[in-house]
Amino acid sequence: MKRFMINSEMSAQYARDGYFHARKVLTAAVLNVFSKELRQKMAALTQNQPPLEERSTYKRAFTQVTNLWQKSDIIRDFVFRADLAQLAADIMGANGVRLYHDQALFKEAGGGATPWHVDQVYWPMDTVNTCTFWIPLQKTTAEMGTLSFAKGSHLKVEGREMVISDESEAFFSDWVRESGFEVSRDEFELGDISIHAGWTVHHAGPNQTDRNREVMTIIYMADDARLLKRLSPTQAVDRDAFTPGSQPAELISTSLNPVLFSR
């Protein structure tokens, strides 16, 4: 299959909207091998979960496991794919990208909505050149809980201090409506990838079907990203987990953050 190429219209759309729906990037054959491995690892790593009704809003939204690339060669090969990393660099207009981290997000059958939020409130990098590849492992309809974005919200600063919570849901759902943002409502075919910037306001609906909504994500940052000079307590937790040992204002280059593509 030919590599998915980003043209100037696509990167301009990403810069304007804060997200881009890349269609038919990966083949079913690639995804089927990957999802079989991922499903097995997720089953082994997420045993004994409490029933949905006993969980917090956050934990009802999805079961989350991070840096799975460290647990399997098949997953590492997928997360480290140079073609995906180049796509990330191209759409952001960056010279190259490093891995920030990966995470699987499985929204269980009957699982709750993912509250409106921004991702970068958690992240300790000094750049806006960050993006998440949200890679569904099945055709994903609105009933399963697709991602929706407030188009252009990455250019505003309101609510940026709020972590994922009932509070972020209440604030952003009002703000998005009252500010008149257009909200994307895409469904995703197997092979499609949703790409969004770290400050884009987004949410996902509940999973109203009887099967899990399985998604893998890869989070990239520009290869010249530095650690912020001052970190919030939330960002310090992320620093310790995903860029351990990084120093204020210095280039982030730990062994967990390899360069995955460079020009």
Ligand X SMILES: O=C(O)CCC(=O)C(=O)O
Using an 8 Å Cβ cutoff, are 120 and 198 in contact? yes
Instruction: Supply the minimum distance, in Å, between the C-beta of residue 8 and ligand X.
Output: 26
Instruction: Supply the minimum distance, in Å, between the C-beta of residue 94 and ligand X.
Output: 19
214 makes contact with ligand X (CB under 6 A): no
List the one residue from 63, 120, 129, 132 that touches ligand X (CB under 6 A).
132
Alpha helices in the chain (DSSP H): 8-17, 28-45, 57-61, 73-79, 82-92, 166-179, 233-242
Which one, 215 or 221, has the nearer CB to ligand X?
215
Instruction: Supply the minimum distance, in Å, between the C-beta of residue 66 and ligand X.
Output: 12
105 makes contact with ligand X (CB under 6 A): yes
215 makes contact with ligand X (CB under 6 A): yes
List the one residue from 79, 84, 91, 204 that touches ligand X (CB under 6 A).
204
Letter string b/e over residues 220-259, b meaning 16 or more CB atoms within 10 A of that residue's CB: bbbbebbbbeebeeebeebbeebbeebeeeeebbeebbee
Written as six digits, the tokens of 19 are 């997200």
**What is residue 160's three-state secondary structure?**
coil
Which amino acid, residue 168? S
Which one, 202 or 226, has the nearer CB to ligand X?
202
Site track 1-40 with ligand X (rule: CB under 6 A), x = hit: ----------------------------------------
List the one residue from 90, 119, 169, 238 that touches ligand X (CB under 6 A).
119
Which one, 136 or 191, has the nearer CB to ligand X?
136
116 makes contact with ligand X (CB under 6 A): no
Distance CA 235, CA 127 (A): 14
Which one, 17 or 119, has the nearer CB to ligand X?
119
**Residue ranges with strand state E in the chain:** 19-22, 63-66, 96-107, 114-117, 130-136, 147-149, 193-197, 202-204, 213-222, 259-262
Site for ligand X, rule CB under 6 A: 61-62, 105, 107, 114, 119, 132, 134, 145, 147, 202, 204, 215, 217
